Chain A
Amino acid sequence: MENKNLHSTLDHEPVILIKNLYKSFGELDVLKGIDFTLLKGENIAVLGKSGSGKSVLIKILVGLLKADQGEITVLGKRVDQISAKELDELRLHIGFSFQQSALYDSMTVFQNLAFPLTMNIKNLSTKEINSAVDEALDAVGLKEKRDHMPSELSGGQRKRIGIARTLILKPQIMLYDEPTSGLDPITSAEINSLILDVQKKYNTSSVIITHDLTCAKTTSNKIAMLLDGKFLQTGKFDEVFTSEETQIKSFYNYNFIQ
């Protein structure tokens, strides 16, 4: 069944293409030959147990971690082959929402949002900076928190500001690392709705790393189940979770019992 909430501008141009990706840390093999495709306008939720390598996958996509082996193509550029300068140019088109929000503690909300803008685009006027910050804050519904410090915000608000900070550079791809972890169900629902709003307004394609099935079902076109370093199953939510595979069944049952 198609997710009715999703903005449907899906076409068949891949924005992320991963072939045969391997990654290990010392003797621990985390990713064991992964193939993955994200089409333009598509939202894919990557589900899996804690420590299954979900966050490693998206960190490899933005070059924060290096793959041991495999081809990683993002927006037509080979992440595993490009120079540091090209990687920085590519990163301007990718928004990364961190699990712990990663807001700069020493800066106000305004400064947090203005920082990536002023560091990457030279000679912006104060008016332009103010207007871009206000637009991003408006998109996440937290305009009134402009002059607050991150320590004065709740968990949900920090997540929203973290998302706003990525939106300031108008990304084509959004990578969400556990967007609803540590949040109550109501705030989680608000974040899910924000992910959909962002997709609609900014026409982004997204990879959503989560182990929250409600988040996955609400925000994505497709589910990819990452277990034991490989994608066990990929498809629409109902297709994946009607599977008889034991690990998928137990993942599904545990989420709903919880």
Chain B
Amino acid sequence: MISKKSHGFIFSKNIDSFLEGIYNAYQFIIRFFKEVFQPPFHIREVINQCYEVGLKSLALISLTGFIVGIVFTKQSRPSLEDFGAASWLPSLIGIAIVKALGPLVTALICAGKVGSSIGAELGSMKVTEQIEAMEVSAINPFKYLIVTRVMATTITIPILALYCSFVGLFGSFLNVHAAESTSLIHFYQEAFKTITFLDIFSSIAKSIVFGFTIGLVGCYKGFHATKGTFGVGKAANEAVVLAMFLVFLEEIIIVQLANWIRFF
């Protein structure tokens, strides 16, 4: 006789499914941390995924970082000039790009490009039974697909964020150079004058958290995709929306934490 049979809901259908989602996500994260330290490590697949995440996002991040640098400098100049503080422009840009814009812009681009791609890829593997095919071949799909992708985004996105900051600063330099003929070395010296080790550390730490979040959300949504091709599109879409929301939330929390640490 079947003992387990569910009738009705504890709260309501939506609340129950929301709570179930949180529980499943919690289990997913716990499983990740259990599996990430156990062999086999699939190093080759991690490198392959780093290539997918990193090299293929490079062009878009270069372009966006460069444009952000130019536009931010152009927009900030008039306000600073009004106060007679145009010479502070490199410092302002340095703080803004290294501390906030570089990691945030990179995370948002990766949430859109990488998060959706992971969600769609794993989602389509799920609905076409490719993940089950791995399981029946005695291959752990969680380890091979999820752990490798989350590791790749966690490693690659901080590197991309640093790269984005440098490209953004270079874009800003071109604008400053056009107006004031400042040399590249002098511009970078000025830009980094007010940036402390804690700023760079919190910027990298933030990008690591963003990378982990983007990878994990994309994998979670893809791995739990259902309902055929509709489910694949939904997984990709939800991966982007949720990753972006969490990135903003984490940005606020980490900035607050960094400020507390600075205070102490």
Contacts and interface: CB of A to CB of B under 8 A. Distances in A.
A64 B1 CA distance: 22
Interface core residue of B1, B2, B138 (most chain A CB under 10 Å): B138
Contacts of B5: 24, 27
A165 B138 CA distance: 13
Interface residues on A, range: 20 to 34
A16 interface: no
Interface core residue of A27, A88, A120, A169 (most chain B CB under 10 Å): A88
Contact of A26 (B6, B133, B135, B140): B6
Interface in B129-176: 129-130, 132-133, 135-140, 144
A62 interface: yes
A104 B129 CA distance: 9
A100 B136 contact: no
B138 A96 contact: no
A104 B137 CA distance: 12
B136 A104 contact: no
A76 to B, nearest CB: 18
A131 B135 CA distance: 24
Interface in B31-48: none
Given A100-B129, A102-B128, A102-B130, A64 B2 contact: no
B58 to A, nearest CB: 21
B7 interface: yes
A91 B136 contact: yes
Nearest to B139: A119
Nearest to A84: B140
Nearest to A58: B136
B129 A99 contact: yes
A69 B137 contact: no
Contacts of A27: 5-7
Contact of A94 (B1, B136, B140): B136
A120 B133 CA distance: 14
A105 B138 contact: no
Q: A-B pairs with the 7 shortest C-beta distances?
A: A116-B137, A102-B133, A88-B138, A102-B129, A96-B136, A91-B138, A119-B139
Given A100-B129, A119-B138, 6 more contacts: A59-B132, A69-B2, A102-B133, A104-B133, A105-B130, A120-B139
